[in-house]
Amino acid sequence: MLLDIGFLDDTTRPTVPRLENLTRAQQAAGEHLKEIHDLLRANVASIETLIRRAAEGLASRDDIAAETDGMALVANFRRFGNLCGQYCQFVHGHHALEDQYVFPQLAAVSDGYRRVTERLVAEHHVVHELLERQIATLNALAAAPTPENFAAAREVFEALKEVLLSHLGYEEDQIGDALGFYGVM
């Protein structure tokens, strides 16, 4: 538990049988989902590298600013507003689309997909709470770059990274092929 966030046990995740013999066209929707998730993974990896370098004293504020400017998500978000707010909005919008449109369609397919999508929705709540906490710790760090604020921001980032990356993999594995197979989206 981080602060008062209860984490879900990955070993309790429901699963569905793997779909076999999908056509390329049926696999396309799952591949698109993975491409979206890969953008999130790439940014998590870049941020993790910058945090490590900053902790080791190998990256100054100017270095971090210059390196994050080159990240695709950062460049796009800076055109439309602040990074933290836009990143959170991107993830929230992605999850809202899934929760409101994609998951109900899959839940109607079978009881197994209903259980999987209910779990994915529950995980969305945990990810959202961690994103909110990350924004708060980064704002505190920007206002007062103390070792305590750096440690708090890093602690939340590590939890967010672990939860988000696990969630993305689980989602792709359980519903990726089903999206195209059942014509969802």
pLDDT value at position 100? 82
Tens digits of residue pLDDT in 17-54: 999 999 999 999 999 999 999 988 987 887 787 777 77
Q: Per-residue pLDDT for 169 more than 90?
A: yes
Domain contains 11: no
Domain contains 39: yes
> What is the extent of the structural domain holding 68?
23-181
Q: Per-residue pLDDT for 74 more than 80?
A: no
Domain contains 18: no
Residues with Cβ within 8 Å of 152's Cβ and at least 6 positions away in sequence, in order, are 137, 140, 141
- Tell me the pLDDT of the chain averaged across its residues: 82
Domain contains 14: no
Task: Find the helix packing angle between 24-55 and 147-181, rounded to 10°.
Answer: 170
pLDDT value at position 69? 57
Domain contains 2: no
Q: What is the pTM of this model?
A: 0.82
Judge whether 168 and 40 are in contact, CB under 8 Å.
yes
| Alpha helix (H) residue ranges in 61-146 | 61-69, 72-80, 83-97, 103-107, 111-143
Tens digits of residue pLDDT in 117-144: 999 999 999 988 888 888 788 777 777 7
Residue 124 to residue 126: CA distance in whole angstroms: 5
pLDDT value at position 87? 58
Domain count, the chain: 1
For residue 71, name the pLDDT band (cuts at 50, 70, 90): low
Rounded mean pLDDT, 2-6:
72
pLDDT value at position 53? 74
Question: Using CA of residue 98, residue 174, residue 12, residue 137, what is the dihedral sign?
Answer: negative
Tens digits of residue pLDDT in 79-113: 434 445 555 666 767 777 888 888 999 999 999 99
Domain contains 119: yes
